[in-house]
Amino acid sequence: MINLKVELGDNSYPIFIGEKIFDKLSETLSLYDFSKKIVLVTDSDIYKIYGDLIERGFAGFVELLDIIVVPSGEKSKSFAGVDQIISRMLELQCDRNVAVIAFGGGVVGDLAGFAAAIYKRGVNYIQVPTTLLAQVDSSVGGKTGINHALGKNLIGSFHQPKLVWSDLDFLNSLPEKEIRSGLGEIIKYGVIWDEKLFSFLEENINSVFELDMDSIAYLVKRSCEIKAEVVAQDEREFGLRMILNFGHTIGHGIEAEMGYKILSHGEAVLVGMLAESKIALEMELLSQIEFERIANLISIFNLKKKLKINPDSVLEFMQSDKKALEGKLRFALPTQIGKVEVFDNVSNDQVRRSINYVIKH
Ligand SMILES: NC(=O)c1ccc[n+]([C@@H]2O[C@H](COP(=O)([O-])OP(=O)(O)OC[C@H]3O[C@@H](n4cnc5c(N)ncnc54)[C@H](O)[C@@H]3O)[C@@H](O)[C@H]2O)c1
Ligand SMILES: [Zn+2]
């Protein structure tokens, strides 16, 4: 089992990564000072597949395991979802030592993490990520939250988990689209931080698509190490953490313009990374050769045929995005593979040109 650490002083926590490790979680939890009441939050699709495994995994270790099942999908990241969890915890008279387990993808992680952040001013929670995106990104770093009618992730809190327990075996039941989504974020880590990770993906992308577990273990480990390092340096996104937004400034605009349909989050980020790399090329920050390496890797995902977007409305959505700073858009742009810098001097025309480019290429 791989064991990493997110260094955040008193809020430091371990990340465990391995194959078929879920049945060892309850034993590890018994080493912590948690009450014997466990509240586990999951979604309806995951519960269908893993309900029995969850029950078996805790048998004999806890006095009470209460499983809260929310509907699968982004809509559960809502006040109603938080109400469902918190009301149940109050009914169960959970005290402040309760452990909330988020068993699922980023939706369950963000929702259950937020409920844990505000229940009785904050209780323990544990991330058990079951999607590739959650294993490489959303389960680490302590951003929790829900959506509002006016936008995604507008309500939330920084609340770090007590541990992250990543069982790679869960990925075997994940639809291919969700694997591609997680890969979008992994490619992002390569471009912003680690050229070696990027060349590993160039050389091994086929075995990664086939879920070769040695490759996947390396990718999850390396991605978590990078995210942990960035978060340790800048937990609340005052500076360095903004580099994790590479591909997201335009990616979020594309997701919003497409109504969060057809493209998954990671796929929108892939398109966003291509567009933002094109801006970096135009601004002469990035060389032609490095741009082509990024473009070639992203082209394997064949996303052009799914892209039905109007550059002007993508730009409008981007401007209303919460990351817009006093009307100016911020971009993390690659200066070489493995390095990005943050810029706020990109013109609307450059953004439009880059979106037109990705529509055609
Ligand atoms: N907190 C953060 O730092 C952070 C970072 C990135 C993304 N996010 C959030 O994460 C969410 C997206 O997360 P996601 O991509 O994991 O989506 P998700 O949680 O909706 O999961 C995707 C789908 O896969 C299903 N699923 C999950 N695990 C499965 C498994 N092992 N086998 C079969 N099906 C499974 C789910 O039921 C769902 O239908 C967004 O809401 C986004 O805002 C948060
Ligand atoms: Zn993302």
Task: Note the CATH architecture for domain 2-172.
Answer: 3-Layer(aba) Sandwich (3.40)
Say whether pTM exceeds 0.85. yes
User: Across residues 226-249, what is the average pLDDT?
Assistant: 94
CA of 106 to the centre of ligand 1 (A): 4
Contacts of 306 (CB under 8 A, 6+ apart): 262, 263, 267
Q: Which residues line ligand 1 (CB under 6 A)?
A: 43, 45-46, 49, 72-74, 77, 104-108, 110, 130-131, 133-134, 137-138, 141, 143, 153, 170, 173-174, 178, 181, 265
pLDDT digits 0-9 by tens, 133-186: 999 999 999 999 999 988 889 999 999 999 999 999 999 999 999 999 999 999
Contact status, residue 20 vs residue 172, Cβ threshold 8 Å: no
pLDDT, position 324: 55
State pLDDT tens for residues 248-262. 999 999 999 998 889
At residue 61, the pLDDT reads 83
Please name the residue whose Cα sits nearest to atom 11 of ligand 1: 106
The CB density around residue 151, as the number of other CB atoms within 10 Å, is 14
Would you say residue 36 has pLDDT above 90?
Answer: no
Atom 7 (ligand 1) nearest CA: 138
Q: From the CA of 182, give the closest atom in ligand 1.
A: 15
Question: Which residues are CB-neighbours of 180 under 8 A, at least 6 positions away?
Answer: 264, 266, 267, 301
Q: Are strands 124-129 and 163-167 parallel, antiparallel or unpaired?
A: parallel
**Which residues, in sequence order, are CB contacts of 71 under 8 Å at separation 6+?**
43, 44
- Reply yes or no on whether the pLDDT at 240 is more than 70: yes
C-beta separation of 50 from 170 below 8 A: yes
The CATH homologous superfamily for domain 176-360 is Dehydroquinate synthase-like - alpha domain (1.20.1090.10)
The β-bridge partners of 86 are none
CB contact at 8 A, 93 and 160: no
Q: How many CA atoms lie within 13 A of 31 on its CB side?
A: 6
Q: In which band, very low, low, confident or very high, does the pLDDT at 59 lie, cut at 50, 70 and 90?
A: confident
Which of 133, 135, 144 to probe ligand 1 with, by most ligand atoms within 8 A of CB? 133
Give the active site residues.
121, 143, 185, 227, 237, 241, 245, 248, 252, 265
Distance 347 CA to ligand 1 centre (A): 33
H/E element, 144: strand 143-148
Q: Per-residue pLDDT for 296 more than 60?
A: yes
Residues comprising the chain, all counted: 361
CA of 58 to the centre of ligand 2 (A): 32
Angle ∠(89,90,91) on CA atoms, nearest 5: 90
Which sequence spans correspond to the domains of the chain? 2-172, 176-360
DSSP 3-state of 93:
coil
Separation of CA 134 and ligand 1 centre (Å): 6
Determine the residue of 45, 49, 50, 171 to mutate for testing ligand 1's pocket, defined as the one with the most ligand atoms within 8 A of the Cβ atom: 45
pLDDT of residue 327: 65
